[in-house]
Structure 1
């Protein structure tokens, strides 16, 4: 472990003459500047709270209302209808104040109350406008009169003065609680293609019994929560889906994002790190000032919830024996850097000024050139965050509760984010670019199992050849929020002696702690070795050609995935992530992509039905998928409602066979589209090479696949496929081949081209037309 010399403000030495007190002026100066920066942020936060609190009005509008009311008083008219006089009668003022001053003060109070009433009315109108979602379900080119009025009204309310990041938070509607009957009906419809008649009849009886008895009782509690809480799902989702999980978060929960696919802005590791780290802190500065534009639904003025943005920086997941917690700190002026088994604290501010990219690069290079060996127990310390959660929680309590160990761990956890300087070279390179891309994805997902701090909100990895990537913890936010940061980091980080000390002095001196590190590393390494990854960039066509066929690109890919999986295994319960950020504190909902319509299309296509029949069934399946996606976005999904009903049943101590069965069903095909959040940052026409390959995640089920895809421009689709070697039924590369074949087969069907002749495949399920 690298030797450290901590900077302290006061040093006491006992001498024969008494106590010798030495002051470190540099440390005192840093403390002073840190306090100034903290107070500046408090002032900015207070100012922004006022601005967002009165939005869509402005604080200056108060003065306009006051002047208008005072002006009417001097024209001897009373717009208050006697209220100003009533206020004047009850003013607790001294007799020394003149009646004219009392009248002015009463007018100001009335103006303030009128102003607040106007703001409340405007925010209520805005909330009602944002609660209207029927426009999403109307056919393209066929807009109802109600929607036309809504478009004009919402445009007038949402296209005004420039909003801050959190300006719309108070106006976003709450997530509605669906009716139990509707949720049960949609659930039964979603599982019909996965069950035979006997299984479906049994499930229907369980569902009807639940709906007629326990369901209404549980629903009452959810409605009560929805009246009290901003979102009836999000806190329980974070707690029970993420934080209560006791298995490793590496692979099972964390996800990753890739660098540019075809270009590397600089092959110099320290230069790439300096530029990117600087850009992240520039983003944080804008985030603190709320100067980042609120995210919106693409092509509209409809805002999305920004609550998850609050925990992007200086946030860490803290292990516990029963449940973890997410800890967020208000500020941090440094990052923690890992290199060759050593941990360094790198401060990025000097005298209140953010270091330039070149200055950060110089500090990074000093770390790379440092020849010191890691101390005992330091090199594999990060494996504690990669293994099972309970052993990590016990080790944290036993070895990191006091003294230098605690201070050192605090330093890691309170850092703005974590940085790894990797000695490997990654990216699309060498004689086998496809294999190198697979290795790149695997490395970003789990690394060496000890060279990431998987508990941090995000860790940035810089490779020896200048490539980089990001690994993120999932509980605090969903991928689109981090993707927003990452895209800015790629864009700004691609173009462009003061103290640096290691903080990890003698952090792990206990052999028993080393033993726990070794055990966690063994668990993590077995998990990492079991992961099979395949990443490929499909460039033979993209969403441009799919749109010309008048089919939704996302629905098109989901139908391709259904066809590919059927050819390899049959149908399965399919998860597609959809966001619910149209609502306050919204996160995600599930789109059950395997539907009656999609299975009918797949069976017809594989059964050799006429192309016209297959095209009709494909369009019906695509339209149904779009309907399901819109339902999920607007609060009409299935799975979050059933999940919350299940949580309530556990709190009440009652058992529901129906809910137990629903929550235990495996998602063998888990999918997610990772779209570009800020298309305006990248010139995909003139510089299509400057685009990220997207990101991915591990498989949700041991015998299933995790598939992430991104539609880049009009002519590229990137896929990230994961599964486990230990399952003989899954193979990432074979599934990738099936996806490519399905893409060609379905686009040929839509464009009228002749499909390639089918070849018999071993293990392919028999297609029965009468099913």
Structure 2
């Protein structure tokens, strides 16, 4: 298999996939496999053992065995046959889980910020300038050049085993709010002309391509942003439609339906949908204020909550030129976002200085490139905006954020013979166990992009090996205690076992051999067929509680990522985004303040203590 992959990479080296071929499987990637029912059942059994008392597990597994002896094979066969039929037709859905997964995102009625849309703060970009307009123009020009290159030459194939079809869903993409389910709109690459800009809640469309789809000069784009900053009223927009995108989706859908009854509003909102991305020019300087940065990237804070449009990817630029991205998540995942951001940042950092400066641009041409977008409505409609704003401000107030830096990274951990990702997961589990004397059901995202239209699978990292390690480490009651040689030897063995087990289940998940997508599909079939025997298992409290992620975690590690964050996926859980750099690990924490079960400060401290203890055991010396 490895030889085939190497040969495949050699064959496709330096090749590109043209835009017209992105929706086709030109890389001949396999279809996401459906695991056997026996394999999933076996792995499910193993996954719940560390999470529940033995008597609870025993009673629950009786229901699993009843399901397996009953309709499980029938449901599995139906799933396999439907998948074969879809494959034979050659169209959507391209995997057994795709329609279910799409519907989970599009039918979710909860607000997008915190709950769904993740955010990345990037490091300072070389050659991007220093001011807000110059930095924003550098990013937007880089995106425009990326679109132009893709239209002309296609997307470069860096890895022949990575699906590139989601690249069609990055720019000019937008959610269209619906009462029960949203729609995902895609503007063809060849029709992309403008970006949407928000400043103090005021909307603008800014041309970045000419009619031949050649990008305007970066200096011209910068001049447009400077112009927007100069013409925006001094006071914030008191009734910004943008805030509706941050609230309940059903409310936004009803408000949207009201707005588009007016043809002018329908045209304005169509322009927003067709915008390449949304550029948020914030009014506050972030400087070195970590709390301000963390809130700005995830939900906008109270000061900038109206300066976001969550139906689309957003480039957020602070008043002092710092940059974050907030991503619309229904159409793609971190692997795809990182691909185009990486390309854009590389193009900015490698380019020569621009021959034309913004000061040299003919200012008279700028107003024709900047179109203020106005949405009109009556007094009663403003009530929707006020309600959405209240909901968003409540969400912001209810979201606690924290961060933690560990003074070692990939280099040191690999030298000590442990998987860096597994080590961070160990820190999380030992910390949670320290706080709650148990492990939490844990989700870690694994990409399945090696398959055509692959998205993600769950790594259930709360294993029996993790539990044994957490129990052993937390037996030492004094935080300053240094383990004895015998304890250290025992804990070293537990660390190795936990690391090896984690690597095994992570590899299985990336190969499409996890359990959660498979179980979700079987559950949906059981609901459709009103299969009581199956539902007796799927509706059991133990099953449901083991799928409520007390720790929702994700590793997004690229050289340009400073921080990565998202909200908890359950009311009583934590969101843990992390970046493993060469010599440092950076962790972002989130939780809801309304939860009696979570406390960001306590968890933050526990992760720090656990990381120090584990590193001491590994290295044999204190940090």
- Specify which of 569, 573, 586 is matched with residue 718 of structure 1: 586
**Does the 8 Å contact 1:562/1:571 carry over to 2?**
yes
C-alpha separation in 1, matches of 2:283 and 2:26: 43
Q: Which residue of 2 aligns with 1:112?
A: none
Q: Secondary structure at the match of 1:672?
A: strand
**Does the 8 Å contact 2:199/2:281 carry over to 1?**
yes
Matched, 1:453 2:309: yes
Q: Secondary structure at the match of 1:477?
A: coil
Matched, 1:276 2:139: yes
- Specify which of 664, 673, 693 is matched with residue 555 of structure 2: 673
C-alpha separation in 2, matches of 1:279 and 1:371: 25
- Specify which of 46, 49, 69 is matched with residue 192 of structure 1: 49
Matched, 1:163 2:15: yes
Q: Which residue of 1 aligns with 2:388?
A: 520
Return 5+ residue gaps in structure 1 as ranges. 1-131, 133-149, 297-301, 430-435, 680-690, 756-771
Q: Which residue of 1 aligns with 2:29?
A: 172
Alpha carbons of structure 1 residues 652 and 361: separation in structure 2 relative to 1, 3 Å: same
Q: Which residue of 2 aligns with 1:695?
A: 564
Q: Deviations over 1:404-462 (max 9, x none)?
A: 111111111111111111101115x2xxxxxx213201111111332111001x01111
Matched, 1:394 2:254: yes
TM-score, normalisation: structure 1: 0.72
**Does the 8 Å contact 2:118/2:326 carry over to 1?**
yes
C-alpha separation in 1, matches of 2:276 and 2:238: 21
C-alpha separation in 2, matches of 1:208 and 1:304: 37
Q: State which drifts further: 160-169 or 628-637.
A: 160-169
- Specify which of 114, 121, 126 is matched with residue 251 of structure 1: 114
Q: State which drifts further: 154-163 or 205-214.
A: 154-163
Q: Secondary structure at the match of 1:159?
A: helix
C-alpha separation in 2, matches of 1:398 and 1:566: 50
Q: Secondary structure at the match of 2:577?
A: strand
Q: Which residue of 2 aligns with 1:104?
A: none
C-alpha separation in 2, matches of 1:699 and 1:719: 14
Matched, 1:548 2:415: yes
Q: Secondary structure at the match of 1:350?
A: coil
C-alpha separation in 1, matches of 2:232 and 2:408: 50
Q: Which residue of 1 aligns with 2:491?
A: 614
**Does the 8 Å contact 1:419/1:460 carry over to 2?**
yes
Q: Which residue of 2 aligns with 1:70?
A: none
Q: Which has the larger radius of gyration?
A: 1
Q: Secondary structure at the match of 2:548?
A: coil
Deviation (angstroms), 1:379: 4.3
Q: Which residue of 1 aligns with 2:89?
A: none
**Does the 8 Å contact 1:708/1:721 carry over to 2?**
yes
Matched, 1:470 2:470: no
Matched, 1:309 2:167: yes
Alignment of 1:264-343 (within 5 A): 266-289=129-152, 291-296=154-159, 303-330=161-188, 331-343=191-203
Alpha carbons of structure 1 residues 503 and 400: separation in structure 2 relative to 1, 3 Å: farther
Q: Deviations over 1:480-511 (max 9, x none)?
A: 21122223333444565321343423x22311
C-alpha separation in 2, matches of 1:744 and 1:465: 35
**Does the 8 Å contact 2:445/2:458 carry over to 1?**
yes
**Does the 8 Å contact 1:333/1:347 carry over to 2?**
yes
TM-score, normalisation: structure 2: 0.88
**Does the 8 Å contact 2:279/2:314 carry over to 1?**
yes
**Does the 8 Å contact 2:561/2:579 carry over to 1?**
no
Deviation (angstroms), 1:371: 4.7
**Does the 8 Å contact 1:508/1:514 carry over to 2?**
no
How many residues are matched? Answer: 575
Alpha carbons of structure 1 residues 314 and 263: separation in structure 2 relative to 1, 3 Å: closer
Deviation (angstroms), 1:370: 0.7
- Specify which of 94, 98, 118 is matched with residue 234 of structure 1: 98
Return 5+ residue gaps in structure 2 as ranges. 87-93, 354-363, 477-485
C-alpha separation in 2, matches of 1:290 and 1:633: 30
Deviation (angstroms), 1:566: 0.8
Alignment of 1:691-770 (within 5 A): 691-712=560-581, 714-753=582-621
C-alpha separation in 1, matches of 2:125 and 2:148: 30
Q: Deviations over 1:585-604 (max 9, x none)?
A: 11000011111111011112
RMSD: 2.2
Deviation (angstroms), 1:346: 0.6
Alpha carbons of structure 1 residues 575 and 451: separation in structure 2 relative to 1, 3 Å: same
Higher relative contact order (CA 8 A, sep 6+): 2
Q: Deviations over 1:542-586 (max 9, x none)?
A: 111111111111111111111111111231101110011111111
Alpha carbons of structure 1 residues 290 and 311: separation in structure 2 relative to 1, 3 Å: farther
Alpha carbons of structure 1 residues 163 and 391: separation in structure 2 relative to 1, 3 Å: same
Matched, 1:591 2:459: yes
Deviation (angstroms), 1:699: 1.0
C-alpha separation in 1, matches of 2:336 and 2:621: 40
C-alpha separation in 1, matches of 2:515 and 2:321: 44
C-alpha separation in 2, matches of 1:719 and 1:401: 46
Alpha carbons of structure 1 residues 474 and 510: separation in structure 2 relative to 1, 3 Å: same
Q: Which residue of 1 aligns with 2:514?
A: 637
C-alpha separation in 1, matches of 2:128 and 2:264: 40
Alpha carbons of structure 1 residues 536 and 288: separation in structure 2 relative to 1, 3 Å: farther
Q: Which residue of 2 aligns with 1:209?
A: 66
Q: Secondary structure at the match of 1:198?
A: helix
C-alpha separation in 2, matches of 1:291 and 1:721: 38
**Does the 8 Å contact 1:382/1:450 carry over to 2?**
yes
